[in-house]
Structure 1
């Protein structure tokens, strides 16, 4: 009967693809700015073609973020999720690559809202596709927290009693008032699926889709929304955008606010 091999004397061989991916991630982490493929290849010592293929794979898994404007890469949202509790990252810097990806994929204006303590939301960042005609909304724009698509998602997360929801609804101003019963049913739908739609209510001719980023106690901290001109977005496309938006909101919430494991 043979003794088992001594692990300490067994030659260890790195898995090439994994080792190259680690070197690429380390190179991106060491850089203070996003890097192009050639720069990543030089820094990591991985061939350009192999580097490109690994970067594409890591981008699909969201460990790397692709910046379409200048064709560069940086660390992505999934890295922050792995490191939740270990690092502090600016929410806007963390979420922006995903906003850019959604804007490019769906040809929509994508907005990031900070929820304030006085029941308002303030626009803190935006991303858009160069190819789409879009609505112009300036950073710093402020509106009531329960208005629009993001507002319906905030209301869904708040789980207010009907009477209090009715009171909040009564303070809102719409170009086309949906009526409380419709608003209430849309809030319930937002709670069920994780995203909401405002179609020509807050502003005539404008459709928005919204979701919220919540902390570990499920309290909304940020809102994410996509905006398009009515007639440009089909119902099926809006639903796909809503699902993508909910996924990004969930991942961002875990990355930013999940409590460290004990």
Structure 2
């Protein structure tokens, strides 16, 4: 299954941003969406040509044209703002930790999907595939979402059932790990979902339809104490992203 087309996703992110903020400069837009000046300019020129936005001659600011200002779909939501603006801070986090960072979105009662990803430029690094989907109960992200939602053990069993673990994980251990995640704020998966990969994840409450932030590293490249420190840093990043989406 192919993932979303990034240029189309970025174009809609620009439209939502202008719908919320009003007229903005090229640099304002690029910084908010996490685009380079050249990529941002090409998208803006395309949107101008399509009649969705216009550029003020005196202010040099871009704004929605009148028909698009009335578009109901562009009335922003916290979830849309979160997805549109997460990349710059996620990229900085990935660069400083050498982790592959993902923002996951709950897309149904059974599935989550990768909405945004970032990785470092280290020579040896993990990478997440654009737009990948996985069972809602899977990985550190699944445990973190369940902990954030405080779901009961019956629902935990339902989410656990369809997951294919690469390393055996009994249901009782899974339930215990969800409860541990609820206590410390982040979940940990040490090779259960993917052999050779350790992941920490922090769920986000209060932003529909439900999100989770994850950071993955090569297994045993950090000590348990360093893994806990990564989880604490991820909680700080999560809180920053929630604030900027508010």
Q: TM-score, normalised by structure 1?
A: 0.62
> Does residue 164 of structure 2 align to residue 170 of structure 1?
no
Are 1:120 and 2:114 matched, yes or no? no
**Cα distance in 2, alignment partners of residues 159 and 211 from structure 1:** 13
Separation in structure 2 between the aligned mates of residue 236 and residue 133 of structure 1, nearest angstrom: 22
**Residue 94 of structure 2 is aligned to residue 100 of structure 1:** no
**Correspondence for 1:237:** 226
Cα pair distance change 1:239/1:132, threshold 3 Å:
farther
Q: Which runs of 5+ in 1 are unaligned?
A: 1-28, 36-63, 71-85, 258-262
Report how many residues are paired.
Answer: 183
Q: Which one has the largest radius of gyration?
A: 1
Answer whether contact 2:106 2:211 (CA < 8 A) is retained: yes
1:148-187 matches, within 5 Å, as: 148-187=139-178
Pair 1:31-2:25 in alignment: yes
Verify: 1:227 aligned to 2:216, yes or no: yes
Distance 2:180 2:123 in 1: 29
Kept in 2: contact 1:108–1:132 (CA 8 A): no
Among 240, 250, 257, the residue aligned to 2:239: 250
Give, in whole Å, the separation in 1 of the partners of 2:125 and 2:184. 26
CA-atom RMSD in angstroms: 2.8
Q: 1:132 to 1:188 in 2, by over 3 A?
A: farther
